[in-house]
Structure 1
């Protein structure tokens, strides 16, 4: 031993004490000794502590070795205590060993002292190490138990046949029973009947090669509810490979299981909706840069299998060249600024033809505003576009027919106006002139009066023919344009209706198209007619 041994000796004989120290030192032990002679001196030194070994004579005046041993054991149960006596019988020796003495040596056999001391010190060190190990093990056990008891998970230990040997507080609370009531019962007792085969099968799968088994089954709680738990079973095996114990940890995953079930049901409903939808759907994962096209999308596009390209950009090279730039710009505007994406576009069918689709989509964003997904749908609007095109063509045809009908009507009006003005007007003028000439040559007053009435009638007819000719097609409209025709028509209508009329129009250097001037004149003409008939304007 490298360090000095602190020895406390109880001996009233100085020669015996010196002899014992000499034997120890000659035996190779480095000893620092304090020799006490009386009880008071011994117990005072013992109280000071720091001793490695106690050597004590058995018989001292007023104090015995057993009393000294009791004093030592009251302070330290492991401190080596060796008795040295000249007359120690077997009975007393046994009594001392039972009282806690480490060993004894007779004074006439001191050659045993060194081996006894060495063995006592060695055993003392071993006992201290063992005690420390026990204390460490106890601390670990306490920490383990505290951890286990504080866990919200269900923790238990089972025998190989599934009998509970330990349960934590969480499990007692969950099952609504005390620990002593659960110990000795089988775990399967608390498993939902439908899951009993799962639980027993998991225990049977434990082996030295696969000591860890994971499974999920339901446990019935104190209120009778079934709660899903994910169990981790670990088998503990003896050296011979036999299963000695099972440690089980169960975590309540009811909310997770129900959420997963709801998710599967939601996905199933979504799948049915996608399959039943007449629209084709896409989902562009902007993070992983992958695009999903629904079966209906592929059918609308004429794909017989998966699309040749399922990576960006959206629609790939299927877009009509004339639509690519505006569609891609609209997509970027939605991704960046959230502008609505609602575009009619053409996609190339697998047969090489282009078909019209209405595409609508929007961007899903994360909490930081970053675009995550761009999803939307396409609807085939080819038939609608064809119908709109047919309607547009029909509308143009109708416009041409209407314009032609108006041209024919105006042509007829122009002809009738010219006939009325040039033919009938001239005839009536000639009649009027002839009547006026005859009236100047007749002396009969009665006949003159009748001729004057005839002249008035002819004049009235002539004015009506002229007015009718102007109403049908004023010559000013063809010769001078819309403004002059409107001004003349307004003046005539104002004179007829005895109105005060005001006319204002900007000067135009370039005339409108004839059909436009005619249409505008007819609108104004109808408006003035309504004013004269209904407005009572003055």
Structure 2
């Protein structure tokens, strides 16, 4: 494809000389010559050009004027100035203004190499500009994709946050329900224990007194087998009374209300050891302060549940209960020397579903405490509950 050359020269003869010189060096040229600003602007507007060669001094305008017109058009073309004579300062000024080379008319052999060089550099500039443009477009596309993905992520994040908030609300509601259920359970147990004591206990006492009266009235003339029946009934009433007292104690141990947590634990672990043969050691600060009723009851119930699990699942021989006061916290720990379990299986132990652990955790959380369990196969189980102490 021919090289399209724009020649800015007032001398037609000089223009022919430089074109002939270039063709002699192998250039296939198509060119036009202009020598006024108007002709130059028309040429720039009407066609595309590969290079510009301009005389420095012309009657209508100068080579620097031509350079400025080309630059104002936004074109990046190789621009070579040619002249008969020029001082060094003007040559430097022309190069600073944007001319790519400066050739003396008496040195035309330099023209072809200079043009080849400037064409290569112009091509490199175009490639570099195209690369920059491609990078800019790629960056814009990437930025647009990032903006879209960010917007999508914001929507997803909002949805996830809404789900998390909803789950938190549900968990809080469930925790509140668990606390209310625990309170209701304890109130029902307390009410049942009171009714057993006030109603059935009273009736059994009256029934026992009546049997004594009947027995005394029948001693002289009653058949022996009838007296034995009366005595058997008296013993049965005593047994029923004992059973009811035990049930009352399990529902609502009076020792807990009357003497506090430590005394209640000692009473309960004593019964536990007699029933199971598993030794229980209690290590506690003797000056354990009385706490709010629901806190003492929660810890007592956690101890009950833990001991039930020890008896059912742990294959333990000894249990240690520790109660300490530290930095405003009551720390309750119960440790057994049983078979333990892997933490990953903690949801499948205790009644097959982790219910025992869940109950203990809910009781601890219901009084503002922290529940922690640690275990390993063959290492037993350690349960720790920390509860803040308050002025109570």
TM-score (norm 2): 0.48
Higher helix share: 2
Bigger CA radius of gyration: 1
Structure having the larger proportion of residues in strand: 1
Higher RCO structure (Cα 8 Å, ≥6 apart): 2
